């Protein structure tokens, strides 16, 4: 049975006004990590959720280094200023700074709900920094045009719960323009589908990561 190393820390990026962001990290106890995964979260959640449902541990056991960040103004990063106020390009540059500071390049970015405001600009502005993209019913998908999506070749796993008939289906209608994508619809799951059914979530995520 492989063992994992769990830790906590803070990282400082310029676009948050110098206030540290909290993160949790998991990595294999021995050997070099095969992939780097950045776990984001929705507005009512934090990195704690990825710890609670075992995603951090699951990824490390699969040979990945996983970092779950508390986004600005949320979780244990409550005092950090959200970079959206700085300018239109700031949200994408924010994730660029996070990935560089944590040495997560190229990263697999897992992005539920609210975190779409960061991950989608990052996807379009800094495509080479992404190994893969896992959007889980993210917001802001309607802010980009079909041809913008069509120009991105990043491997993408689109995940949503079949009970999430609003944001889940809206995000799918836009994200399906990404040419290199697969879709997993989680039966009986709502908007935070990974919380409703962690076992199915982990199975789908690991299967996708094995294709990279």
The C-alpha atoms of residue 28 and residue 146 are separated, in whole angstroms, by 39
Q: Are strands 181-186 and 156-161 parallel, antiparallel or unpaired?
A: parallel
Residue 29: CA count within 13 A, CB half-sphere: 6
6: three-class secondary structure by DSSP: strand
CA dihedral 52, 92, 136, 180 (to 10 degrees): -130
Query: Annotated catalytic sites, by residue?
Result: 113, 164, 191
CA dihedral 15, 150, 160, 63 (to 10 degrees): -70
Q: Which two tokens stand for residue 92?
A: 């994408």
196 backbone dihedrals φ, ψ, rounded to 5°? -70, -35
């Amino acid at each position: 049975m492989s063992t994992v190393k769990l830790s906590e820390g803070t990282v400082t990026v310029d676009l948050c006004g110098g206030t540290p962001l909290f993160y949790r990290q998991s990595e294999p106890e021995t050997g070099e990590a095969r992939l780097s995964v950045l776990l984001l979260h929705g507005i009512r959640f934090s990195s704690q959720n990825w710890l609670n449902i075992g995603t951090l541990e699951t990824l490390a056991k699969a040979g990945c280094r996983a970092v779950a960040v508390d986004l600005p103004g949320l979780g244990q990063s409550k005092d950090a200023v959200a970079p959206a106020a700085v300018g239109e390009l700031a949200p994408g540059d924010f994730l660029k700074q996070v990935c560089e500071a944590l040495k997560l390049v190229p990263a697999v970015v897992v992005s539920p709900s609210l975190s779409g405001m960061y991950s989608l600009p990052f996807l379009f502005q800094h495509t080479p920094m992404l190994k893969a993209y896992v959007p889980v019913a993210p917001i802001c998908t309607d802010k980009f045009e079909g041809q913008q999506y069509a120009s991105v070749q990043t491997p993408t796993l689109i995940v949503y719960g079949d009970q999430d008939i609003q944001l889940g289906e809206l995000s799918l209608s836009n994200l399906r323009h990404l040419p290199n994508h697969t879709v997993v619809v989680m039966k009986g799951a709502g908007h935070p589908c990974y919380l409703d059914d962690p076992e199915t979530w982990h199975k789908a995520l690991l299967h996708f990561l094995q294709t990279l």
